[in-house]
Structure 1
């Protein structure tokens, strides 16, 4: 530090800090006795990386004196990479690397530093087996030649492929996701908003670590594998089918794709590199790759952005604004153009406009089972037997509340029930929704309905709970007072039962308009209700 011109006051403070270093070792039997230490820097001390950096900086000058080794990057020769106590020696030839190892050996002897040869590996980036048969020594100890190695969390392969890194990210993401769900289950955390926040804090960083490097080279199949991690969390939390389109799940859960997060991170990194001066390595690498016409990292980033209609020049500079810009581009690409039948139905029935806001029912103070039921209804995962192409000549007009009959359970497969996400309240319409083909709603048979609440469409009705009950195979003459909708005879169905506290209603017989035609009959003489 004296050679570097560091002030005496700072050197005296460091000397005082390391004057009497005491340490203990944690063992299986417990803590050991205190002992003195006069080698190395303190473990976990914030000053340790700086002190080691001052100590190791001489190595670069030492290697530069040696003409061997190094690679050409733009107008610079790169011989080593340093990060904390991790050191990488780079050379284009085997002889150049041997010369660098010899220079490192002499440097360690002069400054009294030791190298852990068991953790020191050699990687040769080539497809030729003959090149991988070279022998490298350090202090007369042979160094192991490996085909892949992890540096700063990124797995590098000798074939210059990042497929291993991508596979490790996916594997680590699944592990973190299962661990999160297990912890939430033990802590009885069922709230989706909490799970989504924890996923963003604990799982997303694991999956997207280093995506600035490997994100642009990821194939569409690879991104689908990554998105499956978040899709599994949504489907398992909301208990919906895995066949529901991923875009609908994201819209329902108020989330956005992991690829969009990776894209925003990559653009933020490029924006940061653009604002650096020309002496920083990220800026040097970016400019060097832009000047080349071959397949480079920067060219892959450009193609990746073009795939989603993103222009680097139009991107804002702040990270949050970049993220919003990317999410908007992804939303536009996902919900425009040729979309599937399920997505078209979701847009039509729920007036979806492309927002990524969490639906209100997921944050409402209602039972978790009710939230799951609503999510199943909205995503077509209700497991109900859907009757399509039902031909009814009757138009049923539901009157207002009738205080004569007390009935607190109603089964209505009409549009407002599916739109339960607005709040704790739902609006009921007076007209029964007749189903068309491809609709996911369950139809109501006018000649098999036992009782029905007549609801006022101008009033708000408080929902106490929502449950699913199974309609058994029974004959029509058995009374089912608690189940108000019976489908075709001889079949078992799942029915949604909505419970309203203290609500009074009237039977279907009193609710049907006198002039309505039931199955072509102009009067009510035809048996509408089973005996």
Structure 2
């Protein structure tokens, strides 16, 4: 290792200092509160030492030179040829054909023996990229005498690749992880802040969105329904409304744009930053190749949705103008218009259009969680059977008089059981301030003694 450092041009003074550090390496194992005896190690780099990844990188820095010199394998990306990808002790080798890959593996076996390294065959996987379905007959892949498993998906630096070279595997993975985080975040929020709306949304942005947006620079041009469902599910929990409540209503109530806005902004910002990055040749070539494949259609749709042709965006970037902020702002406005249009044309909760405000409704800032959920359920249409258009006609009738469909209009004007209610209460419920909790409690008790039945839809 120290000779490799000298060959790489590292100063003799620094090499000697590292030699002094490794002159004696003592370790002991700790399990819980118990500690084992001290013992010395003479092989490998120190576990957990911040210097270790750098030393290993220096030690295997010539692997790409070896592969290049052998002139076997590798893939051409634009005007560059790539043989391997390496980060610390994770390495990927690439080739265009089975024959070239097997030759690369033989060369790598010789290199590993020469360097006195060991390969963990159990963690070593083989994946073949192909647009066609996998054939039943498969070639056998081996490292020395051990068989290497062929997989359909492969994760590298947190990004999941699949055999078809699409983004589906990565999107599915971030959604899976985000749903797990949502469960943890919900529990933490309940214990620390109860139902405080502002803090709940802050936790979503800092802990859930950060997981969902991983790799959005690659897949962010297109709206992903599975990603949007994570946010809409979380908003339903926060508001305390039924899971049948449409996503466009809960997003309007909380004044949240679709996550496609942030994902698109990250993809556009990545393109902005790629301008003039000729010093990073491989990244630049990958970026150019990516623009030639099917992703270009998604990019074109994104630009047109926000009022630009992709050629116009390229021209503005060439003039030194960063476009991510402008495209994102337009996308946010487009999303708002689409949301309001769906509210106007919806069969569900036709009254909600008059509930719409420009800012977050005032009632969401109230301290009482129960009171907020009551108001949210009325405003979002959960307490009117008329809104459940998928139910049978009889099931949508008023639960009190059974004479007409159950709507707010009927409850305050037509229902004989509720005519004593004052007309103004209807406006109070639909108003962003909401009616007081006592009035809502009484209203709930009147309806067949059902109360409110507020659901914590966390399942």
Q: Which TM-score tier does this pair reach, normalised by the shorter chain? A: 0.7 to 0.9
Q: CA deviation at 1:80?
A: 1.0
Say if 2:181 and 2:207, in contact at 8 Å, map to a contact too: yes
Q: TM-score, normalised by structure 2?
A: 0.77
Partner of 1:233: 234
Cα distance in 1 between the residues matched to 2:338 and 2:444? 42
In the TM superposition, what whole-angstrom CA distance separates every residue of 1:272-312 from its partner, at most 9, and x where no partner exists?
2224125432321222344x4xx433443333443454666
Q: Does 1:139 align with 2:144?
A: yes
Q: Does 1:151 align with 2:156?
A: yes
Cα distance in 2 between the residues matched to 1:344 and 1:309? 30
1:164 alignment partner, SS class: helix
- Decide which structure has the larger Cα Rg and report it: 1
CA-based RMSD of the aligned residues comes to 3.5
Of the three residues 178, 182, 205, the one matched with 2:187 is 182
1:133 alignment partner, SS class: coil
Cα distance in 1 between the residues matched to 2:161 and 2:145? 27
Partner of 1:80: 84
309-318 or 21-30: which moved more?
Answer: 309-318
Give the gaps of 5 or more residues in structure 2: 386-405, 414-420, 453-459
Partner of 2:257: 256
Say if 1:286 and 1:298, in contact at 8 Å, map to a contact too: no
1:2 alignment partner, SS class: helix
Partner of 2:442: 469
Partner of 1:521: none
Going from structure 1 to structure 2, the CA distance change for 1:84 and 1:472 (only over 3 Å counts) comes to closer
Cα distance in 2 between the residues matched to 1:387 and 1:333? 26
Of the three residues 418, 422, 434, the one matched with 2:430 is 418
2:42 alignment partner, SS class: coil
Partner of 2:299: 301
Give the gaps of 5 or more residues in structure 1: 393-408, 427-462, 474-490, 497-531
Partner of 1:481: none
Cα distance in 2 between the residues matched to 1:192 and 1:466? 23
Going from structure 1 to structure 2, the CA distance change for 1:338 and 1:417 (only over 3 Å counts) comes to closer
In the TM superposition, what whole-angstrom CA distance separates every residue of 1:357-380 from its partner, at most 9, and x where no partner exists?
53332224x322222222223322
Q: Does 1:207 align with 2:208?
A: no
Cα distance in 1 between the residues matched to 2:448 and 2:155? 57
Query: Aligned pairs, how many?
Result: 412
Say if 2:412 and 2:423, in contact at 8 Å, map to a contact too: no
1:271 alignment partner, SS class: helix
Say if 2:384 and 2:408, in contact at 8 Å, map to a contact too: no
Partner of 1:358: 360
Cα distance in 1 between the residues matched to 2:120 and 2:152? 20
In the TM superposition, what whole-angstrom CA distance separates every residue of 1:62-81 from its partner, at most 9, and x where no partner exists?
10011210112112221111
Q: Does 1:61 align with 2:65?
A: yes
Cα distance in 2 between the residues matched to 1:467 and 1:240? 15
Q: CA deviation at 1:213?
A: 2.7
2:322 alignment partner, SS class: coil
Q: CA deviation at 1:383?
A: 4.3
Matches within 5 A, 1:257-296: 257-277=258-278, 279-290=280-291, 292=292, 295-296=293-294
4+ residue stretches of structure 1 with deviation over 6 A? 318-322, 389-392, 493-496
Cα distance in 2 between the residues matched to 1:138 and 1:377? 64
Going from structure 1 to structure 2, the CA distance change for 1:263 and 1:129 (only over 3 Å counts) comes to closer
Cα distance in 2 between the residues matched to 1:158 and 1:193? 42
In the TM superposition, what whole-angstrom CA distance separates every residue of 1:306-364 from its partner, at most 9, and x where no partner exists?
345466627973877765454234324433599424687544x24534xxx53332224
Say if 1:132 and 1:145, in contact at 8 Å, map to a contact too: no
Going from structure 1 to structure 2, the CA distance change for 1:129 and 1:351 (only over 3 Å counts) comes to closer
Partner of 1:449: none
Cα distance in 1 between the residues matched to 2:59 and 2:298? 38
Q: Normalized per residue, which structure has more helix?
A: 2
Partner of 1:476: none
Partner of 1:116: 120
97-106 or 122-131: which moved more?
Answer: 122-131
Q: CA deviation at 1:465?
A: 5.9
Say if 2:444 and 2:451, in contact at 8 Å, map to a contact too: yes
